[in-house]
Structure 1
Amino acid sequence: MDPDLSKLDGFLNEVDVDGYLIEADGDAADQRYLSGFTAPDPFVTLYTGETHLLVSALEYGRAKRTARAETVERHADYDHRSNVAEYGSHEGKYRTLAAFFDAHGAGSVAVPADFPIGTADGLRRCDVAVQADIDGVLGEIRARKHAEEVEHIRAAQRANESAMARAEKLLAAAETVDGTLSLDDEPLTAERVKREIEIELLRNDCALDETIVACGADAADPHDRGSGPLRPDEAIIVDIFPCSKETGYYADMTRTFCVGEPSDTIERWYDLTLEAQTAALDAIEAGVSASDVHDAVCDVYEAAGLPTLRADETTETGFIHTTGHGVGLDIHEYPRISEEPIELEAGNVVTVEPGLYDPAVGGVRIEDLVVVTEDGHENLTEYPKALAVESR
């Protein structure tokens, strides 16, 4: 994939700098997107209308073969060893970088807002002007996905659904013993379900650092990862957000399950949340404000007499988060589906995940992953929505 960087060119002209600089490892989404390269240690990407990489000798051969860059160079090409010997490791590094910039006509650069301050200060001492890109132009560029990126996300979502099916199968096979769920004569714990989710994802070349399997009061905290034995008759939130080991693209999906008989409140909350999600999905299309999508969710909940942050920014129960977020090389990226009036564009990939929470009741959340289109959306999520678990 060759990204369209015309917006980055326009940004450089607007702020009157020669280039855009990233110093980060390949896990940083902007770095991977701009360079087309990954490495476990930080390396330098300079964009001046063309993309130039400066890497260690260790990464040089692989970067020459695989990076999406016009030039790939080594520290040794800029007398790095001599610079370190004369100026020390830190100042020598900055001298090497300054020489690299000079070779590519970059006396001034813009950098991401989270750029290392030590490097920025060191470059300024070498007469390189550095200014922060506080608006995140690359994040905005990455938000509009190419068809190839959408396919990468779709593939990660299929793996995600396989893992969700594994989790639901465990729940469906469980029995109630002394007030908790049991499987194969052992307690069915959140940790056990999460382990099986991770194993299933690995079978599909995906991985994740953590996932959410939260039951009862744990599920009332949207980001509580969940722990301990799972219980019947209570809502169990399963939120899985894996990353493809090959492409680096994420997927994201949440389902809420109940083994046994849910309370009337949980059933009502589930139906309302499904209604709220449908209202949000119906509102999505290119040109619509993300705030209108968020409002569609709040309208449903508030009409039912339930609290939202829109109505009361201090509420600790009810709908206590935004409606969604962008997904791509980061699990949370631009645009957010919130009160902020951001215009959605065709190619945005966003979650739609309304939910309700109260420690006295538990929590319910339903999350799909969709691509914004000119006249609506394409839902990348095929997994069914049902509160009662089903054998799969």
Structure 2
Amino acid sequence: MDPDLSTLDDRLDAAGVDAYCLDAASTEPNQLYLSGFDAPDPFFTAYALTAPDGTGELAVLVSGLEYGRAKKESRADAVARLADYDYHERVGEYGEREGTARTYAAFLADLGVESALVPDRFPVGVADGLREAGVGVGVDGDDVVESVRAVKTDEEVEHVRRAQEANEAALRAAEELIAGAGVADDGTLTHEGEPLTSERVSEEIEVTLLRHGCALDETIVAGGADAADPHDRGSGPLSADEAIVIDVFPRDKASKYHSDMTRTFLKGEPSDEIRDRYDLTEEALEAALAAVEPGATGADVHAAACDVYEAAGHPTLRSDPTTETGYIHSTGHGVGLAVHERPGLNPRGGALEPGHVITVEPGLYDPAVGGVRIEDIVVVTEDGYENLTDYPVELVVG
């Protein structure tokens, strides 16, 4: 997949600079997206508008260890080794910081680059070193590459779709574990004679994802009061008659693209309060989804969810910015090479475009009741959206 970098070209032209540079490992999504190269250690990438015909040239500077693989796997027009620019000699003479900067400056000089934009989180020591070596360095505060990444190609949408299919298999395994659990006299859920814990359910999710070619560092399986904190990972035994929020956000190991989905399950009998909150959250989900279309803003989608909750008497951060209960987060976010990326569905969210892949995830939280959240992942289309989620919305299991 070769990305459309015309927006990046325009940004460089507007800034009056020659190139856009990154110094990061491929765990930084912009680096992986721009270079197309998956490497665990930082390497230097330059996208330069210095070709005679005015088109961009992508070049990467890597260690000798990664040179052969970068030539085969990256999308770079040119691949160079640190040794080609006497990196070790420069570091030996000038020290790590200045030697690295001089190496990068020589690499840029061969590309005809005299000035460059870098993202906000570009290493400050490298930026200062490049400036000292005579390269003009400006900061791209708008993160133009993330904006480019936000609009997915059909191929990228398929990457997310495959991750979502694995996600649903993992969530199904978790649901079946909870549905099949026994209930001890004290209300604790049990599995094979032992308390069923958040950790055991998380393990089932992770194992299932691995079998489907995905992985994740952590997930959320939070019951009772733990679920009242939207990002509490959950721990310890789970109980009957309490809402259990399960939020899974895996990364496909082949494509590196993520998915994200949340369901809330309950084994037993829900209280009237939990049932009302669940039904209201499903209504907020449907209202927010109905607001998703090209030209609508992330703020519009967020407002649709807030309208539902506020009409029912629940506080939101819109109605009370200091509230610690009720609807206490935004309505969603973009998903791709990062699990949280542009666009945002929040009061500042800008216009949605076809190709944006976003989550829609309203929820209600109160330590006295627990938490409820429902999350789908959708792609914005020319006339609305396509829901990539094919998983039922049901509270009671078993």
The answer, yes or no, to whether TM exceeds 0.5 is: yes
Letter in 1 for 2:132: R
Residue 81 of structure 1: CA displacement? Answer: 2.5
Tell me the distance in 2 between the aligned counterparts of 1:223 and 1:239. Answer: 9
In structure 2, which of residues 277, 286, 290 is the aligned counterpart of residue 282 of structure 1? 290
Tell me the distance in 2 between the aligned counterparts of 1:81 and 1:373. Answer: 50
1:1-392 superposed matches below 5 A: 1-48=1-48, 49-177=56-184, 178-390=186-398
Residue 89 of structure 1: CA displacement? Answer: 2.4
Residue 289 of structure 1: CA displacement? Answer: 1.2
Tell me the distance in 1 between the aligned counterparts of 2:150 and 2:274. Answer: 35
Letter in 1 for 2:44: V
1:263-321 per-position Cα deviation (integer Å, ceiling 9, x unaligned): 10110000000000000111101111111111100010011011100111001100000
Residue 331 of structure 1: CA displacement? Answer: 0.4
Letter in 1 for 2:262: T
Letter in 2 for 1:77: D
DSSP-derived class of the 2:267 partner:
coil
Letter in 1 for 2:43: F
Tell me the distance in 2 between the aligned counterparts of 1:72 and 1:265. Answer: 61
Question: What is the TM-score normalised by the length of structure 2?
Answer: 0.97
State the number of aligned residues.
Answer: 390
Tell me the distance in 2 between the aligned counterparts of 1:341 and 1:198. Answer: 32
Indicate the larger mover: 82-91 or 362-371.
82-91
Tell me the distance in 1 between the aligned counterparts of 2:94 and 2:265. Answer: 61
Tell me the distance in 2 between the aligned counterparts of 1:134 and 1:81. Answer: 33
Tell me the distance in 1 between the aligned counterparts of 2:243 and 2:385. Answer: 29
Letter in 1 for 2:193: D
Structure 2 residue runs of 5 or longer lacking an equivalent are 49-55
Residue 41 of structure 1: CA displacement? Answer: 0.3
The question of whether the paired residues in 1 share the 8 Å contact of 2:343 and 2:349 is answered with: no
DSSP-derived class of the 2:396 partner:
coil
The question of whether the paired residues in 1 share the 8 Å contact of 2:150 and 2:343 is answered with: yes
Structure 1 residue runs of 5 or longer lacking an equivalent are none
Tell me the distance in 1 between the aligned counterparts of 2:349 and 2:327. Answer: 19
Residue 341 of structure 1: CA displacement? Answer: 4.2
The question of whether the paired residues in 1 share the 8 Å contact of 2:241 and 2:270 is answered with: yes
Tell me the distance in 2 between the aligned counterparts of 1:130 and 1:153. Answer: 35
Letter in 2 for 1:327: V
DSSP-derived class of the 1:76 partner:
helix
- Report the RMSD for the aligned CA atoms in angstroms: 0.7
